[in-house]
Chain A
Amino acid sequence: MEKELLHGTLEVLILKTLSWGPMHGFGIGRWIEQLSGNELRIEEGSLYPALYRIEKKGWVEASWGVSDNQRRAKYYRLTTEGRRQLHKNADTWSNFAHAVARVLGAKQQPAS
């Protein structure tokens, strides 16, 4: 299932994945897909601009390291500010998701 994701959603998802530890762009995309049960397919064309955006905001910082397949890869790490943003936005998003789910799962018309 392919979905257009809003910028903000994707940024929160990236922050969430990085909360387990540093990872390169390829790995971040793969993690999000796996965690969503392959429901979310992350377009590289959206993923990378989102990464650079939050790097510029100072939520993550990057450094070059060596990947599992012995290649030079750019690893992103959550900053203190990034962690703060994650907590702030995660709550907002889950509340929003619950609300949407409740609406969509409604069985009867609201009383008018």
Chain B
Amino acid sequence: MSATPLWRRYLRFWGSDPGADVDDEFAFHVETRVDELVAQGFSPKAAREEALRGFGDIQQVKAICRTLAEERERTMQRTQWWADWRHDLRFALRQLIVSPVLTAVLMITIALGIGATVAIFSVLNAVLLRPLPWADSDRLVFVYETWRQFRQGSASVGHFHDWTEQGDVFEHTAALTRATFNLSDGEPERISGVRVTPGYFRALQIPPVLGAYFSEADVARDARLVVLGDGLWRRRFAGDPSIVGRTIRLNGQAHTVVGIAPPETNLTRLAPEVLAPLVFSPQQRANYGAHSFTVIAKLKAGVSRNAAQADMERVTRGIAQREPKNMEGRGVNVRSYSDVMFGDFRTPLYVVLGSVIFVLLIGCVNVANLLLARATTRRREIAIRSAIGGGRWRIVRQLLTESVVLALAGGIAGVGLAYLGIRLFVSFGPRTVPRLHNAGLQPEVLLFALGITLLTGLVFGLAPALRAARENLLMSLRDGSRSSLRASGRDTLRGVLVVGEIAVAVVLLVGAGLFIRSAWRLQQVPLGFDVRGVLSARLALPPERYAVDDSVADAYRRILEQTRAVPGIQRAGASTGIPLMGGGPDASVQIEGQPFSPGSAVSPAIRLITEDYVEAIGMVLVRGRAMTAADMAVGAPPVVVINERLASLAWPGEDPIGKRLSTWTREADKPEWREVVGVVGDVRSFGPDTPPRPELFLPYTQAPVMAWNAFQRSMAIVVRSADDPAVHASSLRAALRAIDSSLPLYDVATMREALGAEAAGTRFITGLLTLLAAAGLVLAAVGIYGVIAYFVTHRTPEIGLRLALGATPRSVLVMVVRHGAVLAVIGIAIGLIAALAATRAVATLLFEISATDPPTYAAGAAALFSIALLACAVPAFRAVRVSPMQSLAEP
């Protein structure tokens, strides 16, 4: 009698069952013993009792045995698993070594794809993802005053003070403003720096390299303190630690060095080398009208940006009630630090990363296609493997192991390439990208590399592996090695893969095309001045030796006189602000005969200029006259030159010549009328992609005191020459030395260089995308070539037969090319639709061109179609040359 029910045996079918085994084994033991005892004369009942006695608690014994058996089972499975892997790995390596050329081609494709992807990711990681060096940096915010549509305006001292005193959401607040210093110990040098309130250092929590930072108490005792940047300290003072406590001369005054700041103390794009205290007088604290400070704050723990915005709006409403006149059109805007600093780079970097992943994907498809081709030749091997008991999953795993090993080999080479790529980025990338120099192979970058490598291996390995597992075993063995190809040689899977890669390549092409068109449009924009033959250089006069009255203007007059005497210089002028080289202050303008209120007044950029400046920079005079030497003379009538934009805002539809306006008056509420004598063409001062702003030009000799202070007594000298302007840098320096040998000349650049630096970022991204699109195009061409070549090879007998039966070479050519063209057209159609969706992401980065620009799409499609036809042509002509006899003789 069997105690094992029949169904239980079937359980073994699905794998071992330790529990059932124990039951069966014990049942055998008991039954054998019972038989024995019955034979000795026991009754069956007594025999069973006797037999069970030896087991004691049989359930407990069973449980012990079952546990032991299960533990054994698990250990065995694990051992088996590792053994399988080792076997797969050895086999995979052997496969790669057997065909070294194929392996090399595959590895290079993968290495290039992964290398480029990892390099771009490393840049993105450095710029956007790596944590900022400051504790709780996610709590750092900028607080802006808004004015009409301008969302990120500077704040007045009054605002900063009230936000700090009356706000409930900030742990620390700091105001800062850009300041430049003439350092005159030794060779005079212009140092860029900032003035900051002491809260700045508390918000950052970065310890000084040496010494200390200044506190409110220190500053109250003596405001002539200075913290030196680490770079300046090493460069100018050879890293001498005894500098702390000593004094250095800044702007001609002795300042005590209190400490050395590490580079991490730089919060803005200014890269200051000197940090000096910013001190506000009680009068300044009551000023809500002059907006010139950047405010940085650190939120209290747990306070959201929105809560901070709400609280600041509350405080600002209070200010508006007290100062209605100053607050017209104004509000407050709290923005997270990283948004402000890195927000502009987020979209471009993700676009580039997306593009490079597209290229990697196309590379994957090519690798998959090559592996599919190889799988055909390996069909017999795989058929035999499955015939001798290799399970389907086992074979898939074997093939996946091969592709992952291949991917890992490619990935390791790729990381090497990425290292080189990152070095190139850091050296040649645009300087405007913050934190770019931090790009490197950090652990998270390597982890990304590993992840993308494994993923790559799975992506290109999956199709061949699944295909192999689906193979019809009998068919493969019967047909032999030559083929079990469907007679047509059409291969749906490979066709789908090629269509996919063509689609992706179209997206890349269209994307790059949009950027190229946008860059071209940017170049066509008239800047409003003539960049050719212009050199500019800036200098600033220290207040100590150049008191505000006539000495400033006199100094510039003498420097220009010296400059004009230099042979080769045709024109020389100066302005407080020149195009492409930073902005300048605005001033609200009162127009004669029109009602005036500060909130709604026209606010042009204000510039002080010398005679000849308009001619030297090459601006276009539209009406009236430019400034002449007579306008600069003492006691000359107050005049002004405006640009067309300001003219149209102030006197729409009227001739502005002879009209009068007032700005930057010596006393508030008391207009000082100036006659408009000339109108110049608009200038794109902030680069070709920023629309021109209203601008206003005053004779530099007619500047009020506050104007020179606002400009830090600084002007840019502009010279125009017929030859290469760069050679005149030394003559400018010589001219300056003749006037004052302690003054440094800085920001020396030709206008062409300035324009190049301005466009560096856009050009860099356009270049990258073009490169990636070109790579995608070539890879897609290789892919379609592979498929058509395969098609031709496998139809050689048929083509030979057709030719033998009298088909014209032309018809054979058409047949082959049509096959490729169909794939290309499907791929291009899908790609164009995908491009419509994908390019929406870059719409904001394009200049005066729609993301759905039809010519670009047509050009992308045409480029890909021609390349595809070209790729088909090579195997097609080979097909035509097929010798009928030879092809038929082949087995």
A→B interface (CB under 8 Å): 24-26, 43-45, 48-49, 51-53, 55-56, 67, 69, 71-74
Contact = CB atoms under 8 A, between A and B. Distances in A.
Contacts of A43: 54-56
Contacts of A52: 64-65, 68-69, 72
24 contacts: A24-B25, A24-B28, A26-B32, A26-B33, A45-B54, A45-B56, A45-B57, A48-B26, A48-B29, A48-B61, A48-B65, A49-B61, A51-B65, A52-B68, A52-B72, A53-B68, A55-B69, A56-B68, A56-B71, A56-B75, A67-B28, A69-B35, A74-B21, A74-B24
B61 A72 contact: no
Interface in B20-42: 21, 24-26, 28-29, 31-33, 35
A74 B28 contact: yes
Nearest to A47: B54
Contacts of B29: 24-26, 44, 48
A8 to B, nearest CB: 16
A25 B25 contact: yes
B4 interface: yes
Interface string B63-105: 0110011011001000000000000000000000000000000
Contacts of A67: 28, 32
B4 A72 contact: yes
Contacts of A49: 61, 64-65, 68
Nearest to B9: A72
A67 B25 CA distance: 12
A51 B62 CA distance: 12
Closest 4 CB pairs of A and B: A52-B68, A45-B56, A56-B72, A44-B54
Nearest to A73: B28
Nearest to A27: B32
Nearest to A43: B54
B61 A44 contact: yes
A23 to B, nearest CB: 12
Nearest to A68: B32
Nearest to B65: A52
B24 A72 contact: yes
B10 to A, nearest CB: 15
Name A's interface SS. helix
A13 B321 CA distance: 101
Nearest to B21: A74
A74 B25 contact: yes
A44 B4 CA distance: 20
Name B's interface SS. helix
Contacts of A55: 68-69, 72
A55 B68 CA distance: 9
A26 B55 CA distance: 12
A24 B265 CA distance: 80
A44 B65 CA distance: 12
Contacts of A44: 29, 54-55, 61
A64 to B, nearest CB: 8
B643 to A, nearest CB: 92
Name the residue among B21, B28, B64 with the largest chain A CB count within 10 angstroms.
Answer: B28
A5 B5 CA distance: 35
Contacts of B32: 26, 67, 69, 71
Contacts of B69: 52, 55-56
B68 to A, nearest CB: 4
B370 to A, nearest CB: 45
Contacts of A24: 25, 28-29
Contacts of B26: 48
Nearest to A57: B72
Contacts of B28: 24-26, 67, 71-74
A75 to B, nearest CB: 10
B3 to A, nearest CB: 10
Nearest to B26: A48
A94 B476 CA distance: 63
A94 B223 CA distance: 96
Contacts of A26: 28-29, 32-33
A48 B61 CA distance: 8
A26 B34 CA distance: 12
A16 B616 CA distance: 110
A79 B358 CA distance: 56
A53 B749 CA distance: 86
Contacts of A74: 21, 24-25, 28
Nearest to B54: A44
A45 B21 contact: no
Contacts of B58: 45
Given A24-B29, A26-B28, A43-B55, 20 more contacts: A24-B25, A25-B25, A25-B28, A25-B29, A43-B56, A45-B55, A45-B58, A48-B25, A48-B26, A49-B68, A52-B64, A55-B72, A56-B68, A67-B28, A69-B32, A71-B28, A71-B31, A72-B24, A73-B25, A74-B21
Contacts of B35: 69
Contacts of B55: 43-45
A70 B498 CA distance: 64
Contacts of A45: 54-58, 61
B15 to A, nearest CB: 15
A71 to B, nearest CB: 5
Contacts of A72: 4, 24, 28
Contacts of A48: 25-26, 29, 61, 65
A43 B31 CA distance: 16
A52 B65 CA distance: 6
A24 B31 CA distance: 13
Interface in B765-824: none
B557 to A, nearest CB: 101
A53 B71 CA distance: 10
A66 to B, nearest CB: 11
B841 to A, nearest CB: 59
Contacts of A56: 68-69, 71-72, 75
Nearest to A54: B68
Contacts of A69: 32, 35
Name the residue among B32, B33, B65, B75 with the largest chain A CB count within 10 angstroms.
Answer: B32
Nearest to B56: A45
B55 to A, nearest CB: 5
A1 B72 CA distance: 34
B35 to A, nearest CB: 7
Contacts of B24: 72, 74
Interface string B649-677: 00000000000000000000000000000
A43 B71 CA distance: 24
A45 B56 CA distance: 6
Contacts of B54: 43-45
A107 B401 CA distance: 73
Name the residue among A44, A45, A69 with the largest chain B CB count within 10 angstroms.
Answer: A44
B2 to A, nearest CB: 8
B177 to A, nearest CB: 78
Contacts of A71: 28, 31-32
Contacts of A25: 25, 28-29
A68 to B, nearest CB: 9
Contacts of B68: 49, 52-53, 55-56
A73 B24 CA distance: 8
A110 to B, nearest CB: 41
A25 B65 CA distance: 13
Contacts of B64: 49, 52
A51 B29 CA distance: 14
B38 to A, nearest CB: 12
Contacts of B65: 48-49, 51-52
B607 to A, nearest CB: 90
Contacts of A53: 68
Contacts of B72: 52, 55-56
Nearest to A55: B72
A18 to B, nearest CB: 16
Nearest to A45: B56
Nearest to B75: A56
A74 B16 CA distance: 14
A24 B57 CA distance: 21
